[in-house]
Each structure stands twice: as structure tokens, then as C-alpha cells.
Structure 1
Amino acid sequence: MFLISLTLLAQGIGAQSADLNQRILKVWDFKNTEERTRISMTRVDRLFLEAHPGIRLEHIGFFDQEYIPALKAALLAGSGPDVLWIHHGSEFNEYSSYLTPLESYQDEDFPDIRIESLDVCRSREGRLMALPLTYQGMGWYYNKQIFSEAGLDPENPPTDWKDFLRVCEVLKSKGITPIATGNNRPLTTEFIRRSLISAFFEDDEIKRFYHKGWGSQTDRFRVIIEFIKELRDKDYFDPQGIFRSYFGYGADSFGSGGSAMMLGLISDTLNWKQFSDSLGKENIGYFPNLNHPGMSRPGAQLLQPAGIMVAINKDSENKEDAFAYIKHLFSQESQNILVSELGMMIPMKNLSLPEEEYPVLKEIKKALNLPALDPELFVPSVKVGDLQYRLDDLLINTKEISVNDYIQKMARELLFY
């Protein structure tokens, strides 16, 4: 099945030319499984090929859960792609040793990338190992029309912790699904957990959150986990979405008006553009987080200075072509496509966003004035990320363990990090 999906997801750009003198450039990512992304990235790729006729591009997209195992196997075998996409945090921390350092290109070729976004693309030794294609964050989108129909104020979202639970109960009592979810993998609950950690803990605490399991043993973390479990136990999450995809079922549920709220993203998918285009630009509201008395920064906006990173395989024999391709991604013509068609937040100093056309962007812009670090930046390894998925699955999805079990297992596993 894996080989079949891989074949079907390869873009046909390279296949259009059989010139054996062309240099083959291989690009792998985890986004081209989404039709809307694939259409836009194909346009970006064609513009690159028009300017580089000596290159044949093989651009392959993987399903999210297939990507890292396939990438790891290819890198270990020395047969990986020339250009690869990678998430910030645990993936970058684990695979940066397979990447080509880029610091010599920084000032000359990318003067307009935000410094804070470049900084998180550095190895522990301070070497620039990737470039930030997007910045990213998570926040609550809500359907103003559904709020109005339920007798709720569409201009005053439930940012207070207790009010949020009250609004969920009002929506449920009227036969409305409060929260769109896709929890296979457990992304809805992971995103809620990360967002709340960013508000409950100060930045210096977030940086050491995973060290020896410190953060998972705090009372504040228990409050977060009990809150997520309460949302599940009271069926405020869409029960039909618990064992289905966040990027598939969850997005479709909220985007079609099947639920009132969703913890979505601010860039590239499940974002301001996608939801505004599907539900009406005046019908989408946004708030970044909840307010709770125990929080260090109530209502903070979780922010990843780099969401998607692009990098060059250190074993690539086509490093110059690979760099030319990455540079093309940051060109003005590529930016125009990625922003206008996908709603990508590219970390350029002068990025222009259509705030007048999409009113929700004004709320997002306001939220970005109170940024907080994403704890994912400091997850020490992919194994720890998988541990959180497994425990979320047992606590939230299948309800096989208790909150106490969850916290004890987390703390025990993290003692070695």
C-alpha cells in the first residue's frame, strides 16, 4: 500500500520531459497529499522549471504518518531527497545532522527573512541547517452564524475557561457539535495541550518543560489534562471525529458548518483563508487561547517562528540546484501563490496579508501581539512526541487509562531526557 500511495502522489512534472541530459532534483514533503496544496505547489514548481530548463523535478508528497519513517529510512540508506520539508521541534532536532549547513547563504540571499524564524532553524551548535517556509500557530476559530443561531454573542467568543465550558454545553443542548475534532493521530488534543502549556507556563519554564519530566509533574499540567478529558467525557468533541483524521474529518466538519468551533492553524492549512472561503468571510471569528486564573499569560497566542522548514540533504549531489529551488520558494512570485491560494504565513519582514478582504486576519494580528513559545520546539526527540500521541490515545480516544496513569507514565518515560 505504501508503494502504491507513493507512486500516485508523485507529481508528474518531471515525467513530462525524457531528456536524459537533465539533472534530476528530488523534493519530498508532507503536504502534497492535500489537493489544494498540490495544485498550488505544482504552479510554483512549474515556474521554477521554466527558469531552470536543465532540471527535471521529482516532487513527491507523503501522507503525514508515512513521511518521517520513509525519510528516516532514505536518509540512513543515503538515498534521500535533495530537498526535504521538515517540521520544527522534535523532527528538526532529531534530523538536523542529516542536513547541509546554510549559514553561508543567509545574508546574501535571504535578507528579508525574520531573524527570530531563522534562529529556530539553527542546530544546538548554532549552525543554520534549514530555512523557515512558514511561521505557524494555533488558535480557536468559531462560526459566528452558528453562535447567533444558538443565541450566543457572535462578537464575544468564550475566552474565559468557565464560559468556554458553558458555551459548549449550550451548543450541545441545541444539538450543535461544539468542537470539530480529528484525533487519529491525536492532533486535536495535542494542539489543545500545547496551546494551554504556552499560556500556563513562562517561556523559561517551557524550555525546560520536558527535562526529567519536570513539566508533566506540575499541578498546572494536571489542570490541562483534566480539562481535555472533560471535553471528551462531555462529548464536546465531535464523537465521530475521535478516530478520524484532523486534517480530513476535522477540517471538513468545521469547514462545512457541522460544528461551532475548531482549534485550527494560522498558516497553510485549516486556517483563516480556508475557513473564510468555505463559510463566508464575515462568519469566521478567532481567539488564540483561554483565560484561567492559574495561567502566567492568559490568552497567549502559541507561536512557532518556523512551522515548516525546508532543507538540503547533506548527501545530495545536487546542492546548487537544491539551493536554487529553495531560493525560488521565497521569490515574490512564489510568495504570491502560497499566500493568496493557501494562506501561508511566510516569515518575511514585509509580508502583505489581505486584512481588508479577510476580517479574521485582524483578530489574528491582534493575537500575535501576545506570543508564547510552542513547547514542541523543545521536545527532545520524535520518540517523546510519539509517547504523547500514545498516551493521548489511551486517555482521550479509547479511555483506557486515568489522568493519574497518564501523568505517571509521562513522568516516568521522561526521566531519561
Structure 2
Amino acid sequence: MKLGKQKYVVAAVAALLSLVLASCSSSSNTSDSSATEDTTAAKAVDLTWWWWGTGDVPKMNTWVEWVAKAYEDSHPGVKINFEERTDTDITTAFEAAAAAKKGPDIAPAWASAPVLTQVWANNIEPLDDLVGADEMGNWLNVAENAYEGKTWAAPIYIVGLPIAFNKSLFAKAGIDATKPPTTWKEFLGFCTSLNKAGITPIVGGNRAGFEGSWWFAHLGKQYMDSPADLQKAALSGDFKRIGQWSDRFNEMFDSKCFNKDVNSLELQEKYDVFNKGGAAMVLAIDGAAIGASEAIGAENFGTMVLPAFGDGKMAEYYTATQSISHFITSWSPNKEVAADFIKFWHTTESLNKWVELTGVMPADSRFDQSTVTDPVKQQLFALNAKPSVWLSNFEPGPVFEQADLAGGQLISTRKGVGKDNTALWVKASKGWVEQKPEEVANFKKWAGVK
């Protein structure tokens, strides 16, 4: 998922941080969900793990610290060196590492296209020879990282993107919080009612373009039958049908749905505004939604999804993904230990600790959701169980940067309307096809296009 965080971010920082100096050791491929065997004690191993996730899960660092120590405690001789990547260096730091063939044993990339881009560059080791099929069969959304019959990266969590709302502000505007909109016109009517009551309808942060990308995730699928529609459009440059999403996004600005400073706020900054009662709605990733419910009170917190109004078969799909994925680098001298550590993330102890520390749904079918009693988390987990898609996972990197991010900004800054946004997508896709023929050839294989 290309989040605010996300993906393919062009940055000036290109830093290669940690070099792995240790040698390889073996580990078990057991699919037992309660523990992995300690087979690493014979030889000292320094394992370098680059991770990303704070943008999705604000408290993820607490689990990272816990899981590294828990694995070290149960595997004497193994040292886990973990380093957090940021939105600005997740791509550039790894590109530097890949060029040198030195760096992390485990690294992050957003699911699907960003992962597969590294697969096509021969920078990722497939998991199939390191982790048993019985084990991986319990992991959720692994299809997002499948290519030519192999699985290339592992999930940790599932995050959705609900529209969170403040019930008390809805009430002030005369909106019945128990009756979500059933048509696009009704949704825009919510904005009108809130504005009349002097309440900002939606707070967004589109300084880097991610707010627009998130709304594309909700609006774009209304005009698609499957993710293949987006892949084929990127290859052909035909965005006539999909481009209707930008007309809807433009209508949101015509209806004054957003805060006046939407273009100056970063994505994460919008949550502070919502949490302080400064807006009635916010498009919030699960971790932020949980934080919002704590800030305004669970009794005032609600979630909803957009009504289905487009002609696509995915119009009623939810927006959710494993988001960030973690993979084993092709140059790692510690592949078996790295694989064993990844399996450890999916043990019963680790899954339970993940939910305890973060409140976010783990990407494993073995987690017992009946143990979740918090009503807000129940809402979010139930939404995540619906058929879902995260569209930017299926975009080529240049299209994401030059159209998905930039196109939403074109509309939010009022420098263009729907047709201008669509023209940007066409230009970006055609440029990508012309400039990266090898990547395009691999993308066609992935999309099933001859």
C-alpha cells in the first residue's frame, strides 16, 4: 500500500546504513504457531532488520523492540539489529544497499508493485524454499506479493482505511450517525450540512499528495471490476473509465468538504486536528483510527465507508492491505535465520503481543479474533474481513509518483479539474512504458497481459 509513508517516494536522502558482517546459520522450517526451534546457538549471527510501519501503526516500535528481544532470548547467539526506515528513505536507502549488495538481511517495501520491482531487479530471495507452505498458508494477503508461483515477501499486519467520524459533531449538524449515506449525493450533502453548522467536514493532509492517493483508493475502485483494470490502464494509457474518480474528487472540493489548509498539512498532521474536535471526519488508517477513538472518546467515535455509486464490480470493496511487506535480501548471508525470525513474528505469542501493543489486526488466520473485546477494534477488524483492495499496490512506481500523488494535488490546489488529472495519468503511464521497457515486460507478466 502506498501510504503516507509510502512508496516509491523520491527523496534526496540516499543512505546505506548498516552492513551485515556475520555468516549464515541454519534454522528450522517448522509451521508450529507457538515457537520456532533454537538451532542458531552454534554460531553467532548478527541479523540486520530494516523495518517500516509507524505511518500505519503508531505503536509498532513497541512490538519491534519486543519481538527482537524475545527472539534473541530464545535463540542464544543471534543478535537482531533493527533500524526504522522512513517515508523519505525507504526506497533510496534500499537502492543504495542493493547497488552495493550489502546492507539489511530483511528489508521493507510496500506490497505488490514495490516488492515486485525489487524481485525483477534480483534483490529478493523467494520465501518458498525457506518457509514451509503449511506455515505461509496461515499468512493473510500473501497473494499481494505472489509472482510466477512464488511468494516474495511476508506480511505483519492488515490495515484498513475507514472514514472515521465524530458523532457529537454530526449531531450538531443534524446528521444521524446511525444512517450512513447511501448515495454519493447524500455523502456530499453531509459536507453541506456540516459547513452550515460551522464545522469542517473532513480534515486532510495533502502536502505530499498522499491524501489524494487515499481518496483515489476509495473512489477509483468504484470504476473498476478488478485490479487488472488499473494494471491494463497503466500499460495502455486508457484511463477514460477509471478517470471518473477524479470528477468525484473534484466535486468534494466544489462542496467544500475539506479543510482550507489541506495542501499545507502533512498526512499525519490531520489526525491532531480531528482528535481535538477540529473536523467531523478523517480518512484514517487503523492505527490512527484507534488513537482517534481514544482522543475523542469511544462513545463519540464511528466509522463508515462510501456508498457504492460506480459501475465497477469493486464498487462495494473495502480499502485494506497488508501495506508494508518485509523480504529477505538476495545477498543476505543469513537467509535461514532471517526466515526463522520472520516465522517467529507469526507465533501465537507474537501475534497476541502484537495486538496487545498496537491494537491492529495481525496478518495471520491463526489469531483468535474472539479475544478482541474493544468495540472500536471489533469495528475495524470486521471491515478488514470484507473483500478489499488497495489500488496503489497495482501501479508502476513512476505512475504512482507522477499521477497518483501529483494528480490529487492538481485538484486539491484547484489548479486543475478531473480531465486534467486524467491527462496526467495518461502522460505518466505512457512515459513509463517508453522509458522502462524491461520493467514493463515484467509488469505485463504480472498483469497477465501479452
Secondary structure in 2 aligned to 1:385? helix
Aligned AA (2:53): K
1:258 corresponds to which residue?
Answer: 278
Letter in 2 for 1:257: G
How far residue 167 of structure 1 moved from its aligned partner, in angstroms, is 0.7
Quote the offset at 1:61 in angstroms: 0.9
Partner of 1:184: 207
Report what 1:25 is aligned to: 47
Structure 1 alignment gaps of length 5 or more:
8-20
Q: What secondary structure does 2:344 align onto?
A: helix
Report the Cα offset of residue 168 of structure 1. 0.9
Is 2:174 the counterpart of 1:151? yes
- Matched with 1:45 is 68
Cα RMSD (Å) = 2.9
Q: Is the 2:352–2:367 contact (alpha carbons within 8 Å) kept by the matching residues of 1?
A: no
CA deviations over 1:32-63 (Å, ceiling 9, x no partner): 58762222321222212211231222211122
The whole-number CA distance in structure 2 between the counterparts of 1:87 and 1:298 is 23
Structure 1 residue identity aligned to 2:272: D
Whether the aligned pair in 2 keeps the contact of 1:395 and 1:403 (CA below 8 Å) is no
Match of 2:22 in 1: none
Q: Distance in 2 between matches of 1:111 and 1:404?
A: 43
CA contact (8 A) 1:161 1:290 kept: yes
Instruction: Report the AA paired with residue 221 of structure 1.
Output: G
Q: Is the 8 A contact 2:221 2:315 kept in 1?
A: no
Distance apart, 1:339 and its partner CA: 1.5
Tell me what 2:344 maps to: 328
The equivalent of 1:342 in structure 2 is 358
With over 3 angstroms needed to count, the CA separation of the structure-2 counterparts of 1:265 and 1:159, relative to structure 1, is: farther
Q: TM-score with structure 1 length normalisation?
A: 0.84
Greater CA drift, 80-89 or 352-361: 352-361
Secondary structure of the 2:288 match is coil
SS across alignment from 1:262: strand
Amino acid at match of 1:27: W
Q: Is the 8 A contact 1:184 1:243 kept in 2?
A: yes
What is the CA distance between 1:175 and its match in structure 2? Answer: 2.0
The letter for the 2-side match of 1:413 is A
- Change in Cα spacing, 1:377 to 1:390, as seen in structure 2 (3 Å) is closer
1:163 has 2:186 as partner: yes
Residue identity in the other structure for 2:324: I
- Give the percent of matched residue pairs that are identical in Structure 1 and Structure 2: 22
Aligned partner of 1:113 in structure 2 is 139
Say if 1:385 and 1:2 are closer, same or farther in 2 by CA, change over 3 A: closer
CA positional deviation for 1:364: 4.3
Tell me the equivalent position of 1:17.
Answer: none
Q: Which runs of 5+ in 2 are unaligned?
A: 1-10, 18-42, 434-439, 441-450
Report what 2:387 is aligned to: 371
How far apart, in 1, do the equivalents of 2:326 and 2:92 lie?
Answer: 18
Structure 2 equivalent of residue 18 of structure 1:
none
Partner Cα distance (2:85, 2:327) in 1:
17
Distance 2:278 2:414 in 1: 25
Query: C-alpha separation between the residues in 2 aligned to 1:409 and 1:76?
Result: 31
Alignment of 1:298-317 (within 5 A): 298-304=315-321, 306-317=322-333
CA offsets 1:215-270 (integer angstroms, 9 cap, x no match): x222x523x11221232344321222422221x2022222333211112224xx32
Q: CA distance change for structure 1 residues 159 and 242 in 2, over 3 Å: closer, same or farther?
A: farther
Alignment TM-score, normalising by the size of structure 2: 0.78
| Number of residue pairs the alignment of both structures matches | 392
Counterpart position of 1:100: 125
Match of 1:84 among 83, 86, 107: 107
Q: Is the 8 A contact 1:150 1:171 kept in 2?
A: yes
The CA distance in 2 between the partners of 1:353 and 1:249, in whole Å, is: 31
Kindly provide the CA deviation profile for residues 145-183 of structure 1, in whole angstroms up to 9, marking residues without a partner as x.
221232211211234211111111111222211112111
Q: Which residue of 2 aligns with 1:57?
A: 80
- What corresponds to 2:35 in structure 1? none
Partner of residue 236 from structure 2, selected from 188, 191, 212 = 212
Corresponding position: 1:236 with 2:243: no
